[in-house]
Amino acid sequence: MKTQELINLGSRFLKNKSILSNRIDSEILLSYLLGISREKILINDFDIKPEKINQFKSLIERRSKNEPIAYIIKNKEFRSINFFVDKNSLIPRPETELLIDPIVSLFKRKRLFFLDVGIGTGCIIFSILNELKNSQGIGIDRCKKTILNAKKNLVNLKFQNRARLFHKSISDLYKYKFDLIVTNPPYVIKREIKRLSGDITKYEPRSALDGGNDGLDVIRKVIYKSKHILKTNGILALEIGNGQYKSVLRVLKNNKFKLKTTLTDYQNNIRCIFSTLL
Ligand SMILES: C[S@@+](CC[C@H](N)C(=O)[O-])C[C@H]1O[C@@H](n2cnc3c(N)ncnc32)[C@H](O)[C@@H]1O
């Protein structure tokens, strides 16, 4: 069988299972399996060996059950960096990329020492390290398997000299003072998790989503702790969920933070809040 025929076969199977991204998913899976770029596959019609056809079918089968492509191919690109990812870490989201530009422009000329709370794959901490060459960071996550994944990215991206990763909750951090604390915490309201799409609820770690009864459990912990571990004039950069802006602003004000700026996402929702201590 030739590549184009196989891509069509995979795409048709996924379409019948109501996977909207069927064509591109079929192409990505074949490219991953053959270790050849999608572009090359699309312009050349290669012959595929029977054993590869069977392997391709089992990848398509996994995708047809809503398993996210990133978990199948164990990779997700974020700010042009490839991150190893599997079911123990949240898949990096495009909205989270929004946090990085303002951080880069605020700390461009400084020797930044920062903390990333709940690092997941490490997409935030490693993007900052990549774009601010004078920076050093500490990353924590309360999930042990997530930290082990992030350590793979630490080594792959060669940031061992500029980053330290710890299996810790924000509540257990006392030792350092930071110029910047950044976090994309779990912020989904517990009872709303079941309404998220099947690829999220069935496959992504619940501990990366569940923000408790009002979605703000971890955000509150980060704000309380930041009061003590942020340097004077330091920045607290938070990613938040839809409709959480007013409540988060209230928690910030009650904890002696003042608003610096907000960022909206591609749907025009306030997605990030930057604040400083009064
Ligand atoms: C929404 S995910 C974000 C992952 C990554 N930063 C990203 O943007 O893709 C939230 C992460 O916070 C971690 N986490 C949850 N509660 C935490 C806590 N109290 N202290 C540290 N990490 C926590 C979860 O294990 C999860 O990896």
Q: Give the CATH number for residue 32.
A: 1.10.8.10
Residue 96 in contact with ligand 1 by CB distance below 6 A: yes
Co-location of 198 and 159 in the same domain: yes
Pocket test for ligand 1, best of 87, 88, 141 (most atoms within 8 A of CB): 141
pLDDT tens across 192-248, in order?
999 999 899 999 999 999 999 999 999 999 999 999 999 999 999 999 999 999 999
Q: What percent of the chain has pLDDT over 90?
A: 94
Residue 179 has pLDDT above 90, yes or no: yes
CA–centroid distance, 223 to ligand 1, in Å, is: 14
- Residue 68, pLDDT score: 97
CA–centroid distance, 210 to ligand 1, in Å, is: 10
Residue 183 in contact with ligand 1 by CB distance below 6 A: no
Residue range(s) defining the domain that contains residue 41: 3-65
Q: pTM for the whole thing?
A: 0.96
Looking at the domain assignment, is residue 227 inside a domain? Answer: yes
* Lowest model confidence (mean pLDDT) among 32-46, 80-94, 144-158: 32-46
How far is 100 from 182, CA to CA, in rounded Å? 10
Q: Could you give the C-alpha distances from 79 to 15, 46, 96, 153, in angstroms and in order?
A: 30, 32, 10, 14
User: Which atom of ligand 1 is found nearest the CA of 221?
Assistant: 19
- Which stretches of the chain are DSSP H helices? 3-16, 22-34, 38-43, 50-64, 69-73, 100-107, 123-131, 144-156, 198-203, 217-229, 245-254
Looking at the domain assignment, is residue 73 inside a domain? Answer: no
User: Contact, 166 vs 140, CB < 8 A?
Assistant: yes
Looking at the domain assignment, is residue 236 inside a domain? Answer: yes
Co-location of 189 and 271 in the same domain: yes
Co-location of 145 and 49 in the same domain: no
